[in-house]
Amino acid sequence: MILGLIGGGGSILTVPVFVYLLYINPVTATAYSLFVVGVSALVGALRNIQKGLVDFRTAIVFSIPAFIAVYITRKFIVPAIPETLFSIGEYTVSKNVGIMLFFAIIMLVASFSMIRSNGKKDLQVEKVGFNYPLIFIEGFVVGILTGIVGAGGGFLIIPALVLLAKLPMKKAVATSLLIIAIKSLIGFIGDIETMEIDWEFLLFFTGTSVAGIFIGVWLNKFIDGKKLKKGFGWFVLLMGIYIIFKEFSS
């Protein structure tokens, strides 16, 4: 519903829901989140393709380093992280705690991005330009972050598309959904090869999420999504602080 209402941000709730409400292991939760995020973003991307808002050239240029990075991260890096990261006195930081703390930091960054969003008018750009080296680096970094925390990373992708590919804001938002779908679903392939997937649960949860998108899009006719975005940003901020507090106190 959040994704349908404000056009992004909803995926950042999937990991906390899996971990704290459904008691799923954080590593598995980030894998499941990739699938939910990928399918949800794909639904949004298909709607935007029908409207002619997706820039396929930009999506391909950004997606290649991103999906390579996210696949490598899920297939090799995440399984290779030791179960005990480090110890401070009697306090030991495990792999699961480390992933959730890193996720909380990403939530804090995302929340600031949403809170500071001031609904600027669409940027009009006459000609799309490409800074290939920076787009490649940005795509690779976003892919690694997505692989670790299982979130889409739209708050990182959209500014990159506006600044580095010179896309107007509407096209940047639409194109980012296709990029998120591609890299998330390809990253999930790395998990299929390394862990057991509860497909019945995952498909049910994903189907419910997709239904929520359409409900959110319908509600968007009556509720101003831009106003909701800032409020949701504050909610994400509090959730990030809660995760940090919970992980350090457990």
pLDDT averaged over 10-residue windows placed end to end, the chain, 250 residues: 71 87 92 91 88 89 90 90 86 89 89 72 52 83 87 78 82 87 88 90 94 83 75 88 88
> CA nearest 7: which of 45, 38, 58, 35?
45
Predicted pLDDT at 219: 82
Predicted pLDDT at 47: 85
Instruction: Report d(CA 174, CA 228) in Å as an integer.
Output: 19
> CA nearest 65: which of 187, 239, 151?
187
Predicted pLDDT at 199: 95
Instruction: Report d(CA 137, CA 133) in Å as an integer.
Output: 6
Predicted pLDDT at 172: 85
Predicted pLDDT at 25: 92
- pTM for the predicted model, two decimal places: 0.82
CA contacts within 13 A on the Cβ side of 90: 2
Helix (H, G, I), strand (E, B) or coil at 88: strand
Distance (Å) of CA 123 to CA 19, 47, 108, 166, 193 = 39, 21, 26, 9, 42
DSSP, res 124: P
Predicted pLDDT at 123: 46
Domain containing 203 equals 2-249
Helix-strand-coil percent breakdown of the chain, rounded to 5?
75, 5, 20
- Find all residues with CB under 8 Å of 250, minimum gap 6, and list them: 97
Instruction: Report d(CA 195, CA 85) in Å as an integer.
Output: 21
What tokens does 55 get?
Answer: 């820039």
Give the total number of structural domains in the chain.
1
Burial environment of residue 55 by CB neighbours within 10 A (0 to 12, 13 to 18, 19 or more):
buried
